[in-house]
Amino acid sequence: MILYIAEKPSLGRAIADVLPKPHKKEDGCIRAANGDVVSWCFGHLLELAQPDEYDAIYKTWRMEHLPIIPDQWLLKPKSKTRKQIALLRRLTKDADQIVHAGDPDREGQLLVDEIISYLKVPNYKRDAMKRCLISDLNPGAVKKSLAQLRENREFIPLSTSALARSRADWIYGINLTRAYTLQGRRAGYRGVLSVGRVQTPVLGLVVRRDLAIDEFVAKPFYEVLAHLKAEKGETFTAKWQPSEACQQWQDEEGRVLSKALAENVVSRIDQQAAVVTELEKKPKRNAPPLPYNLSTLQIDANKRYGLSAQEVLDTCQALYERHKLITYPRSDCRYLPEEHLHEAGAVVSALNSHCHDLGNRSDQVDLTRKGKAWNDKKVEAHHAIIPTAKKTDFSRLSQYEKNIYELVARQYLAQFMPDHRYNETKVSVDIAGGVFKTSSRQLIELGWKQLYQSTQKDEQEPENLLPDLSVGTDLFCTKGELLEKMTQPPKHFTDATLLAAMTGISRYVEDTEVKKVLKETDGLGTEATRAGIIELLFKRGFLIRKGKSIHSTEAGRALIASLPDASTKPDMTAQWEVTLDEISQKQNTYNCFIDELTGRLKNLVDYAATMDTTPLKALPDAPVKTGKRKSYRKTKPSTGKARSTRSGSTNPHSTKPHSTRKPKNARSA
């Protein structure tokens, strides 16, 4: 009997749908006519034990207990999962072959590996395990994936990376949350001050932006426009470019702060002859934007529809699992496998049947066009988010689902459209010894942008039409115009801009060497976790929404003020992601990563123990939970979904037991 273990029931049902019928549906599994069985997890069935499950002394939070670092890690079943774990125990004993069908990412790899380890499945069955990578739940795609099984052992480094992330988050979050909560109590705060290696730097981004806005003082600056006339009477404007001699009157961004200087330029160019000194005219082309990964889809959906990152993720999951209209949504990839090009006709037919407006604009679609999106070297466990070939009654979808589907469909269809082409002209003009510049675009072919005309401002309409010019053309400046402007404060974060900051985190890193490295990484968090991290900060009262803007609360600001800079900035956690990726690529090890963290942790705890609690005295009163227990008796780690399978060994399938204290319902792994 072959046992398929899926990450969740929806994936399990999709696998069962392509197995021999009739099926026998049981509680927690589906049996196929040939005797094979499909069962599933509900995400992680297991979780890391809390500190007091290692030793009851940790029920009371005390600074002298810190840092808490388990020698042997304990796993326990999550609430309401024991029945499914018991079923999987029976099924793994009966199975001749086990197929791992977790989602195609590091957490999906770990959550099945950890249950196999927890159940002490014999080594010979583990060694023979296969891996099925499914990113499209439609029957044809599932059949194809089942025909292309790989050895599960190929993915051990990916599982090890997830394990390292899980345990590191526990170590960091548990210890620093307890340390700062205890200091908060000393300052009179009665809530839990949650600290996490990702959530805290994200909060730090928002707090620093808000403080910059609060402290911002607007100042005037000045620009000069020259109104120019050509020989045949055509008019256009050009902007003054201050020379090096003007630097003493400019700020660090090159803006002129002296009104007298600008007024002098206006008077000098009025009614003066002018001449074209430089002219550059180049044909330009823009290729279609790549298909979406989750973050870019969340950013566009927030800009277009005002949806939060979590709303976009939830909607994508529904389109993927319930409707089977898009491929796997938690993808960090924006490229497609080259073989998918053969399926493009069916996909385009489906999206045209759902989105008639797109179909009406797709007269230039060429399904043989192979752009940069098709690149096998850029595709690993999963590819970009695209529509599937399934057709359905589109009217049955919710408005959110329609909106997200149309975004994905438009981005996919654009891959088969011509490049957007235009001529760009740049002109420099000399007026009374001063340099003035202007530019213009002339549309050649709208190309893929025709798909976006109803969703974006038409960027092709030139704002400054230029006459036919060449170097040496004589012009006349009819007048100079003084523009007085005010510097603007930075804008509050929105879901879109905060997600963009998390993915492009190198912009916020101060260390130049780290900045270089981080330009090649995914930034803060992963595609699968970013939405949850942002929502967690709202739930914990550190952030609030005001319209589309995201603001930090008093509690959020006070927490950031009390922490060391290293804990509130993205450098450390982004470096973690680099190391975790190296572990998944066999370029680093679990032990090196954890050892470095634990070595640093004592200094972080010592800093908290000796800190000045003055910033925490500004905290507002926290709501007190009702119930028999005080609200401080237990806390969760900073990433509530952290899971693990074993201790120091870097083999996630290790079955070696450990002799540490075993609390009820916990097991050494």
Give the catalytic positions in this structure. Answer: 328
- Answer yes or no: are the C-beta atoms of 316 and 297 closer than 8 Å: yes
- Answer yes or no: are the C-beta atoms of 282 and 424 closer than 8 Å: yes
What distance lies between CA 241 and its chain's CA centroid? 39
- Answer yes or no: are the C-beta atoms of 385 and 326 closer than 8 Å: yes
Neighbours of 663 (CB within 10 A): 16
Query: CA-based diameter of the chain, in Å?
Result: 94
Tallying the residues shown for the chain, one arrives at: 669
Helix (H) or strand (E) holding 126: helix 123-127
Nearest CA-CA partner of 561 in 215, 197, 204, 213: 204
Helix or strand or coil: residue 258?
coil
Nearest CA-CA partner of 28 in 19, 20, 39: 39
User: How many whole angstroms separate alpha carbon 40 and alpha carbon 8?
Assistant: 5
DSSP for 134-159, please give it.
Answer: -S--SHHHHHHHHTT-EEGGGGHHHH
Q: Sheet harboring 493-494: ordered strands across?
A: 493-494, 549-552, 543-546
User: How many whole angstroms separate alpha carbon 131 and alpha carbon 145?
Assistant: 10
Neighbours of 21 (CB within 10 A): 10
Amino acid at 318: A
Which residue intervals of 474-589 are DSSP H helices?
Answer: 495-503, 512-518, 530-539, 554-562, 565-568, 571-584
Write the CB contacts of 47 (distance below 8 Å, at least 6 apart in sequence): 75, 76, 77, 78, 642, 643
- Tokens (6 digits) for 277: 């000194």
Neighbours of 128 (CB within 10 A): 14
Q: Sheet harboring 46-48: ordered strands across?
A: 46-48, 74-77, 667-668
**Do the bridges between strand 130-131 and strand 97-101 make them parallel or antiparallel, or are there none, so unpaired?**
parallel
